[in-house]
Structure 1
Amino acid sequence: MEGYAKIAERISKHPELGIYRRFGALNAQNILYLQAEIHELEADLRNYAEEDAAQPRDSERSKYSRNWHKLSSSNDDRRQWNTVCLIREKLKEYNDLLAQQALITRYYRKPRGYDLDILRTCLRSTSLPDYLPGLDSTIWDDPVLSQFDLVSLHPDNPEADDRLTHWISSYFIGPFHHLVGRHFKAKSTDFGEENLTDYSDAAIVKLSSILATVVSSVFPIVGVIILFFVQDLLARIGIIASLTAVFSFVLVVMTHARKVEIFAATAAFSAVLVVFLGADG
């Protein structure tokens, strides 16, 4: 098995590699063209309606605006009804396109960088059965497309998408595998002959949680130790302000915590340190 069949098999085993183009510019251009077409049809419909309404009162056409049956079944000038039918078809197509684009914008997310890197590795190497030699192989390589036009169908996992987990996946796993992991970690049976190793998201998330827990535990202890050795009151206030600022910065960088959660955690952290503000050391 090779080529697209191999890529499809790999995606079925690793859904996070299901990364596709949404063709945002082409979809927008298509909607714009359809919008312009409907806009002109609307103008034509208004003109035909005015022309029909201006006919003598005893004519069939003069009754079109008040009698749907005559409008739809009359053998007289049928331009107005034909335009209505055409607009109906175009509006259905237009509304479907808008709904699809709204769905893509709302539910599909940008692919994670390390998932995209893995997919690129599989597609670039001539020794792998996924290798694509044609123009279609550049879909995942273009930096502009990677930034704006690629979407992932893999369900969003907030625990695996925080900044700390992303950093571990992007910058730690590679060096770790090169120095240590390759001596202990067996090749994944999913990748077998391709000599690729699979590190599960669950293990990475667990490592991220352990690291975040350790950091959150160490911060108050470090603050208390520093305040214990500082006697000057103004210096203590400055240290508390600095540590609180660093703590809130770490929360922003390492997590996807909401503003209210950051405020609450920062307030609790500063409250612990303030207890030692008036302590006599």
Structure 2
Amino acid sequence: MNFYQVRLAGIAVIFFLLLSTTNLLFHSPEWDVPILGDLEENTACKQSVCTIPTTSSKLPTTFPIYTRDSSERKWIALTFDDGPDDRFTPKILNILRREKVQATFFVSGKQIRKNPTVLKRIAREGHLLGNHFENHQDLRKIPTEAVIQELRETDRLVYELTKKRMGLVRPPFGAMDTRIKQIAANHGTKMVFWSVDPKDWTGRTSEQIIRDIKKKTRAGDIILLHAAGGWDSLHGTVSALPEIIRYYKNKGYRFVTVDQLLQIPGYLTK
């Protein structure tokens, strides 16, 4: 092997070591779990608790993610992520108040700082608050201490404004691994995802959102919608919401918060 080949081999070894170290620091292989994405298309997630396998030797071989209720009650839960904002969230709240419907809002710390008055209105009007972490980023790609800080800071903001300690969490994008689950479990919270996703944040029209929800939703489902974000594309959500509510009410369904649907605590007592 000549000098040039030795030099190339040395560079390759250094690059491999740097890559391995970065992966261990930010995304440990033993915690790897694929992004869940469209849970309603995952056959393992069509029950009330979705069981996701893990290869970790230090954690349980499975862990629960609540996605829907498996009872025969004609109950449905509307959930809204990424808020609050001062543009779409108040419009959604106006509709829910007019239709006499309670929903669940998974809120972001970053958005709470911008819109504390809207956050307080959500709580005041009887909706359930859940933790959507601080900065709406893929938690699998940041260090453990940063994930913990995102969770705690959002909790702190909500408690300061409402005196409520959130008992439910939903990671941004549905992106998670068993490390994130373990952090949430250590925090005393439960993880709630969804079973119907009309992808309203992509700028879909109200007709598209309504059609998708009517096609997929049945008793016990948790519907994922958004109360902020979407790059100015949530007009369809606001327009679709009244018809969705009236359609299912006319069929004898009741809209409830996810803690009511799943019969789990929505808020922590300590």
Q: Under a length normalisation based on structure 2, what TM-score does the superposition of the two structures give?
A: 0.25
Whichever of the two has the greater Rg, that structure is 1
Greater relative contact order structure (CA < 8 Å, 6+ sep): 2
If each structure's strand is expressed as a fraction of its own residues, which one has the higher value?
A: 2
If each structure's helix is expressed as a fraction of its own residues, which one has the higher value?
A: 1
